[in-house]
Structures are given as C-alpha cells and as structure tokens.
Amino acid sequence: MTSTTLPLLPLNAVLFPGGRLRVRILDRHYLDKLLARISTTPTFGVCLLKRVSANQADSPLPALESIGCQAQFVNEVGLAEEASGSTLQLQLLGGQRFQLDALQQSATGVYEAAVRWLGADPVMTLPARYLPCANLLKRIVLDLEKQPGQAPLQSPYQFDDASWVSNRLCELLTLPNPARQKLMELNDPLVRLSLLDQYLHQHQILSS
C-alpha cells in the first residue's frame, strides 16, 4: 500500500467511495485555509468526527475515525440560513478510502495526516437475493429526482453492482453515523449488503 500526506476536512458525516455528500460548512475560516492548501492538488480527505469524553475535549487535534475517504469539491450549492447565521453548502464527491496513520496540524492551521490507501471493493454482480435492496434504492432515487434541485447520485447508475448498491443505500437510508462508518470500513460489499438487508427486514422496510 502506498502512503501520502493528505489535508483533512473533519465532518459529522460519512463519505463513501463514488458517493455525493452535501455538507454545511460552519467554519468558513478553516475552509479558506483548506482551499488554499489544495489549490494545486484538489483532493483532500474526509473523516468522521468521533464523540469525545470530557478529558479529551482540550486536545488541539480533533478525534477522528481512523478510516476516511478521499474527496473533492463538486460545486457550491449555496448559502443556508440558520439561527446562528448563514452557512455555506458544498457538495463533495467520494474517491478512494484510506487508513489514517498520523494526524497533525500544519503551520497554516490545516489538519493533515499520513495515510495509507485502501483497496477498492471487488467488482461483484448483485446477487439475486439482494434484488429487493436494489429495487428499494431505485424507488428512493426516483422520489429524490422528482424534487427540484436534487442530484442524489453520481451517474452512471449501477443497480447491478453489489458495491455501488450497498454504498448508495448506506448514504440514503436513515442510519446513525457510527453505523455508516462501520459499513464504509467493510472490504466486502456482500457483507455490507447482508447487514443492510437484515436492517431493512428488521425495520419492516422490506418484507420477507
């Protein structure tokens, strides 16, 4: 596995390979520093922020999950008005997963880390037993596409690919971030699909 140093954008969200993620940026100052850092190489890493205990709160470095996803900015969505003021909305596109080895803060204030790149999911045709999962995903996508300004998925759609279907379901289903993180970390799309299938049946989203 090759390694490199990657600037990071810590988020309360999980980015998946090949996925789109719309995020609200609260810290515009950090975003400006990150944009300056990636002006020549426009990719960076996204890692999920961990919940920290009281004795960890004073650390100068954020507590991050050890596996993240390479990202690039797709476009600026606009400004969202909130009680605390306006926040910038951006859309990210997920790339390759990585293992975070050593986190530090650069002289410019950008968090960065030595990372080891992880392999992509193996290419697997969607097994017939998971066709209900793919059909559910199709319905979700069709509903989203009817809403103005929605582009929920990066084309082309690959409803016959086990990895693509499992990752897109992880993004679009209402799941807690720790569960999304664990699913993103899995190297086998069939294991990911099996867990999603169990979840969908347990919550009666799919019927037996």
Domain-located, residue 123: no
Q: What is the pTM of this model?
A: 0.88
Give the whole-angstrom CA distance, residue 42 versus residue 33.
13
Q: 164-189: buried (b, 16+ CB within 10 Å) or exposed (e) per residue?
A: bbbbbbbbbbebebeebbbbbbbeeb
- pLDDT computed for residue 83 by the predictor: 45
- pLDDT computed for residue 152 by the predictor: 64
Count how many domains the chain has.
2
Cα torsion for 12, 18, 19, 20, to the nearest 10°? 100
Among 55-69, 157-171, 174-188, the minimum mean pLDDT is found in: 55-69
| DSSP-based three-state secondary structure for 111 | strand
Q: pLDDT of 16-64, one tens digit each? A: 999 999 888 878 888 889 989 888 788 999 999 998 655 555 677 899 9
Q: For 15-65, give the DSSP string.
A: --TT-EEEEEES-HHHHHHHHHHTSSS--EEEEEBPP--GGGTT-SS--B-
Element (H, E) at 204: none
- pLDDT computed for residue 56 by the predictor: 54
Domain-located, residue 195: yes
Q: Are residues 36 and 110 in the same domain?
A: yes
Domain-located, residue 180: yes
**What residues make up the domain containing 17?**
3-117
- Fill in the DSSP letter of residue 172: H
- Is-contact 133 163, C-beta < 8 A? no
Q: pLDDT of 67-91, one tens digit each? A: 999 999 887 555 444 444 567 788 8
- pLDDT computed for residue 140 by the predictor: 92
189: Cα within 13 Å, side-chain hemisphere: 23
Q: What is the CATH number of the domain that holds 158?
A: 1.10.4060.10
Among 81-95, 140-154, 179-193, the minimum mean pLDDT is found in: 81-95
Domain-located, residue 207: no
Give the whole-angstrom CA distance, residue 42 versus residue 148.
29
Domain-located, residue 122: no
Domain boundary among 63, 96, 117: 117
For the chain, give the number of residues: 208
